[in-house]
Structure 1
């Protein structure tokens, strides 16, 4: 499945990131950004249904997958992930790419497309329409939560086997068994007492700062490339007033495509998701 991908070392201003690529030198170039606490292998099944002639780059965000962790006393913040995107584009020598992001990855992709419009040719968003946001007065509670989290010791829990770790993934998301095993095999490593997930548990701390609703609408309005929203029928919904406003700000040429599945619809229905991405990317000239 992933044997056709080669590992790529990425320097993010001194932090070693891990990415995988297939078809280097091919066209179009597509960079995939995974969701919170996931890893690049969450796009393996989708990649199987994309043309071999395409240049695919699958990134592990810092502190997730096989990428390096920050020093023990450091904290992750949202803007760090944009640094990771810049770093992988620099490492691959790509000037402009199609970005595909799931959940957190979609939020990062949207922010990057707004900040670097000349470098993003299209935006494929899977179950992603921005951060929780809220009104400006949420900023104080967020900052207090960040300080409170500093007192919590990050806990890296061991599991007796990959299969037990996979079962834990199924508890948190309605994933088919083979999908959970795939994610657990590629998202754990041996530790004393069994295996543990590779992500840095410090990621569970809340960010100190975040975008409120008005800021995110302004940012989304700055996206100039074609956008396609892909939703799971049993996913997060995105059918309230806030979601409609955010989608309108992105000005998609087509309505969202809804595919049977949950929040991880790209893992449950990879062929259908790949088809939607092909339609988007091939429409860009």
Structure 2
């Protein structure tokens, strides 16, 4: 689309992060947070369509060109929320909006619920509620996660002979997405290595969470949001839990249901345009 994108590095007290910067310096500040095992390229098709916004599309810690967390640290949702807040502080944003996809949408919602006075808008793509545990399952789940952490040292990241093979592997794993989307994410997510290419992402990202919120806690965060919220739901997306869909009907959020899969904003230009039209309406509100 011929849109200028600036690559920036951000030195936080505990980690160095990378980001793509879009839009005019005097645009409305927006922090964009991608999904699990994605990177800042998640917004490559969407961000240029959102005129008048100053969008900082992060590589979250452990993803893309950002640093990995220190040994012994983890990747809990609340850690990402703190990262996002510190990035906003670095830019001097007292009030800002959040654009999030999947994991990024969940983190954005937690931050907006925790600090409603700081967040102007929430623009969410196929994500809102975190994965949860019933309280009685917490001990067993913590045990499973601790054992998995101990075993991580015995695992090696896969090496692919070519970029194309790495892209094909991405298409076979996790959430469905188009080859074009996988290629865009791979352009930032792969690093050359002896014998081919491997993913830059921190292997610890694939470990189970040590603890998860309960449903009651997750609902409390969502109900604590005070800003206007626009949620794009993909028809072939991930938000299908009847409990959460019923709760969504009770919330004062604007919900748009769009054709496509979980990465509808990245899969093709038509999907990106449709999502952009939804969010233009959100940001046009007084």
Would the TM-score normalized by the shorter structure come out above 0.5?
yes
Residue in 2 aligned with 1:133? Answer: 132
Matched-pair contact (CA < 8 Å) for 1:223–1:250: no
Matched-pair contact (CA < 8 Å) for 1:78–1:207: no
Unaligned runs of 5+ residues in structure 2 are none
Residue in 1 aligned with 2:26? Answer: 26
Alignment coverage as a number of residue pairs? 280
- Cα deviations across residues 67-104 of structure 1 (Å, max 9, x unaligned)? 00123443322221012101210222212111111111
1:281 CA drift (Å)? 1.3
Q: What's the TM-score, normalizing by structure 2?
A: 0.92
Residue in 1 aligned with 2:218? Answer: 216
1:85 pairs with 2:87: no
Matched-pair contact (CA < 8 Å) for 2:23–2:48: no
Q: What's the TM-score, normalizing by structure 1?
A: 0.92
Residue in 2 aligned with 1:9? Answer: 9
Partners in 2 of 1:243 and 1:137 — Cα distance? 24
| Change beyond 3 A, Cα 1:3–1:66 | farther
| Change beyond 3 A, Cα 1:28–1:188 | same
- Structure 2 counterparts to residues 38-77 of structure 1, below 5 A: 38-51=38-51, 53-77=52-76
1:224 CA drift (Å)? 0.3
- Cα deviations across residues 151-172 of structure 1 (Å, max 9, x unaligned)? 2224311111111111112112
Partners in 1 of 2:43 and 2:122 — Cα distance? 16
Partners in 1 of 2:114 and 2:11 — Cα distance? 21
Matched-pair contact (CA < 8 Å) for 2:22–2:47: no
1:111 pairs with 2:110: yes
Partners in 1 of 2:244 and 2:146 — Cα distance? 28
Unaligned runs of 5+ residues in structure 1 are none
CA RMSD of aligned residues (A): 1.8
Partners in 1 of 2:250 and 2:132 — Cα distance? 15
1:167 pairs with 2:188: no
- Runs (4+) of structure 1 exceeding 6 A deviation are none
Which stretch shifts more, 138-147 or 69-78?
69-78
Partners in 2 of 1:69 and 1:263 — Cα distance? 26
Partners in 2 of 1:151 and 1:239 — Cα distance? 32
1:121 pairs with 2:123: no
Residue in 2 aligned with 1:281? Answer: 283
